[in-house]
Amino acid sequence: MTQSHIPTETPLLDSVAGPSDLKRFSDDELARLSQELRSEVIRSVAQTGGHLGSSLGVIELTVAIHAVFNTPMDKLIWDVGHQCYPHKILTGRRHRMTSLRQKDGLSGFTKRSESEFDPFGAAHSSTSISAALGFAVGRDMGQPTGDAIAVIGDGSISAGMAYEALNNAGHEKRRLFVILNDNEMSIAPPVGAMSSYLSRLYANEPLAALRQMAEGFEAALPPPMREGAKRARQLVTGQPASGTLFEELGFTYIGPINGHDMGQLLPVLRAARARATGPVLIHCCTVKGKGYAPAESSRDKYHGVAKFDVPSGAQVKSKPNAPSYTAVFGQALCDIAARDPKVVAVTAAMPDGTGLDIMAKRFPARVFDVGIAEQHGVTFAAGMAASGLKPFCAIYSTFLQRGYDQVVHDVALQGLPVRFAIDRAGLVGADGATHAGAFDIAYLSNLPGFTVMAAADEAELVHMVATAAAHDTGPIAFRYPRGSGTGVVLPEIGTVLEIGKGRVIREGSDIAILSLGAHLSECEAAADLLAAEGVSVTLADARFAKPLDLDLLMQLARNHGALITVEQGSRGGFGAMVLHELAAAGVFDRGLAVRTLTLPDRFIDQASPDEMYLDAGLTRHDIATSAMQALGRERKVLGFQNAPRRA
């Protein structure tokens, strides 16, 4: 710690090329740097959009950690990674911040391939403590790595995986730092007993001053804080080193401390770093959106924002021509819930993102927010289904991956009628590969007894919600993409679809395109391109990946020279199911040309959804080109390849 020496008019941030530069700043200068960093984050995210509120809440924490620890030798692991913008600025990526979340730009999360200061990639929550413990073991087994520090939010620590890691870390007793960034917010207001417990930890005024539970840490703190710590400990527990859940699990618990006060953060981190021999949990209280009034005063604390005007905080949002799939689902489910009191719904911490907020407003007692707990959410829904209720489990495709064994073991194996509403199916844009809904068709269609639907447009989605509500004989899922629908007229009330039946959209004779889900409009455009080339196309919407409409499939196979399947999903999904049936029926023996258009066998980097589908080879031109190739009319393909593509 040195005295302040840099003139106040000189921006400190300009002299920071990396975290090592922070070591020469005094504590006052680190506090000054924090303010500059806050302004920089606001200025930068105003131009790009992104996860602003969470990043503003960890400004001081980021500066303090980098000032005290020795990254990248020490491994700093941000849970979810959506709060890592100040970390990116301090770790040599300031000049690239205007590219955040765009094609070829900086990721909105931590990413190993992006920087040595991102030792572990993230975007799905609650993984940080496990990964940090892995690094700690690596260090203890001689790997060239230093301390491991996990920073995890109060929302993310509600997930089962975080408890599993705490449990294991408490048992391992290795030197490890967990910083609980408690801003009393998840995406939505936090829920659950753990959240209430954390609130109680600092609701008590003596604790709020400072709770310092270990003798060693007390001694290392400056005298005024030491006294406060002793008093707090005795007041609360009457005895040293026990009391909080974390301590019972084997951690040394420090806090709660004010995560925006460098006067508390720096000495506590220094003391912990100097003295820790086992796992330590430092409980920091922060404010989501801290220091930017529009964020602090908004309901969602500007968790995720579009580009915005800095003085007013007004976000630049384009006016969509059609309602979002999410809103259509939320309203359709609410309408059904109004008619059927057995309908209930489950969200894992995303009531607004899934559209369940609509039903929650009208039927609050029938919508269950379980916190970030997809695994529990699925089995909880299975239990409700077993009791005779009609649960809709609304989880993004990418996050349902977390609950896969529960889908298999608790739902499918028992044939329970849980309805899975799978939002964000397909490529989602700025959140990138971590959030792509790529795999659900594959991972659900292979399960015996599962019914899997995909909505071609928002009217179809309304029908699928009705179909799922009426389906009592086993699990059923329907998937739909992020963003606005196609603008079709919505039915007043959904029609229950015949299970396993597709529909023909237009009839032709040369080639059949069999689409599953929201790429139907792109297939229609491809059919138009082909028609302009003199190719007559039958276009069908499969509606069901499982059970497949075998009558329709065989009819398409019989009556056309080639068949193309198209889906917004990975290999191993709809196309694979079709190939399996075609092979079983022996159609290849009769010379049918088949192509399956899926996402490629690689992860697609962030960009706009259109750019991502272009990268994936799933544009109308790709579909038309494949069709021409399947028909053996190679020369015509050139025309399509040279045609302008969507940006």
Ligand X SMILES: CC(=O)[C@@H](O)[C@H](O)COP(=O)(O)O
Ligand Y SMILES: Cc1ncc(C[n+]2csc(CCOP(=O)(O)OP(=O)(O)O)c2C)c(N)n1
Does 374 appear as a known binding residue?
A: yes
Residue 156 interacts, among Mg ion, ligand X, ligand Y, none and using kind-specific CB cut-offs from 5 to 8 Å, with ligand Y
Task: Report the C-alpha gap between 591 and 523 in whole angstroms.
Answer: 24
Q: Which is nearer to ligand Y, 191 or 592 (CB)?
A: 191
**Least distance to ligand Y from the beta carbon of 125, Å?**
4
- Is position 173 annotated as part of the catalytic site? no
Residue 82 sits in the site that holds ligand X (CB under 6 A): yes
Q: What is the dihedral angle through the alpha carbons of 433, 434, 435, 436, rounded to the nearest 10 degrees?
A: 40
**Number of residues this chain uses to bind Mg ion (CB under 5 A):** 5
Task: Pick from 29, 357, 369, 431 the residue near ligand X by CB under 6 A.
Answer: 431
Catalytic residue chosen out of the listed positions 374, 458, 524, 567: 374
Catalytic residue chosen out of the listed positions 402, 479, 543, 620: 402
Q: Please identify the residue of the shown chain whose CB is closest to the bound ligand Y.
A: 153
219: burial class by Cβ within 10 Å (0-12, 13-18, 19+)?
Answer: exposed
Catalytic residue chosen out of the listed positions 93, 288, 482, 546: 288
Residue 304 sits in the site that holds ligand X (CB under 6 A): yes
Task: Report the C-alpha gap between 586 and 582 in whole angstroms.
Answer: 6
Task: Pick from 38, 366, 402, 482 the residue near ligand X by CB under 6 A.
Answer: 482
Residue 62 sits in the site that holds ligand Y (CB under 6 A): no
Tokens of 181: 């960034």
- Is position 533 annotated as part of the catalytic site? no
Judge whether 401 and 372 are in contact, CB under 8 Å: no
Task: Pick from 174, 226, 273, 402 the residue near ligand Y by CB under 6 A.
Answer: 402
Give the chain's radius of gyration (CA, Å): 27
Cα angle, residue 272 at apex, residues 271 and 277 outer, rounded to 5°: 125
Does 87 appear as a known binding residue?
A: no
Judge whether 463 and 541 are in contact, CB under 8 Å: no
Task: Pick from 57, 170, 289, 403 the residue near ligand Y by CB under 6 A.
Answer: 57
Tokens of 229: 């710590």
Task: Pick from 353, 475, 485, 494 the residue near ligand X by CB under 6 A.
Answer: 353
Instruction: Find all residues with CB under 8 Å of 126, minimum gap 6, and list them.
Output: 79, 152, 156, 157, 158, 159, 160, 161, 162, 372
Residues in region 285-314 near ligand Y by CB under 6 A = 288, 303
Q: Which is nearer to ligand X, 80 or 512 (CB)?
A: 80
> What CA–CA distances, in Å, run from 395 to 371, 508, 588?
12, 38, 38
Site string for Mg ion, 134-163 (x = CB under 5 A): -------------------xxx--------
Does 156 appear as a known binding residue?
A: yes
Task: Pick from 273, 424, 546, 595 the residue near ligand X by CB under 6 A.
Answer: 424
**Least distance to Mg ion from the beta carbon of 153, Å?**
4
Q: What is the distance of C-alpha 544 from the center of its chain?
A: 26
Handedness of CA 84, 35, 286, 308 (dihedral sign): negative
Judge whether 563 and 594 are in contact, CB under 8 Å: yes
Alpha helices (H) along 251-292: 262-275
Task: Pick from 156, 379, 406, 565 the residue near ligand Y by CB under 6 A.
Answer: 156
Closest CA to 41 of 90, 104, 109: 90
- Is position 288 annotated as part of the catalytic site? yes
Judge whether 553 and 565 are in contact, CB under 8 Å: no
**Least distance to ligand X from the beta carbon of 243, Å?**
33
Judge whether 406 and 385 are in contact, CB under 8 Å: no
80: burial class by Cβ within 10 Å (0-12, 13-18, 19+)?
Answer: buried
**Least distance to ligand Y from the beta carbon of 545, Å?**
24
Residues in region 183-202 near ligand X by CB under 6 A = 187
**Least distance to ligand X from the beta carbon of 399, Å?**
8
Residues in region 169-188 near Mg ion by CB under 5 A = 183, 185
Q: Which is nearer to ligand X, 78 or 253 (CB)?
A: 78
Within 13 A of 439's CA, how many CA atoms are on the CB side? 14
**Least distance to ligand Y from the beta carbon of 25, Å?**
25
Binding-site ranges for ligand X (CB under 6 A): 51, 80, 82, 187, 304, 353, 424, 428, 431, 482
Binding site for Mg ion (CB under 5 A): 153-155, 183, 185
Report the catalytic residues.
288, 374, 402
Given the rule CB under 6 A, which residues bind ligand Y?
54, 57, 80, 82-83, 124-125, 153-156, 183, 185-187, 288, 303, 348-350, 372, 374, 399, 402
User: Which residues are annotated as part of the binding site for thiamine diphosphate?
Assistant: 82, 123-125, 155-156, 183, 292, 374
- The annotated binding site for Mg(2+) is made up of 154, 183
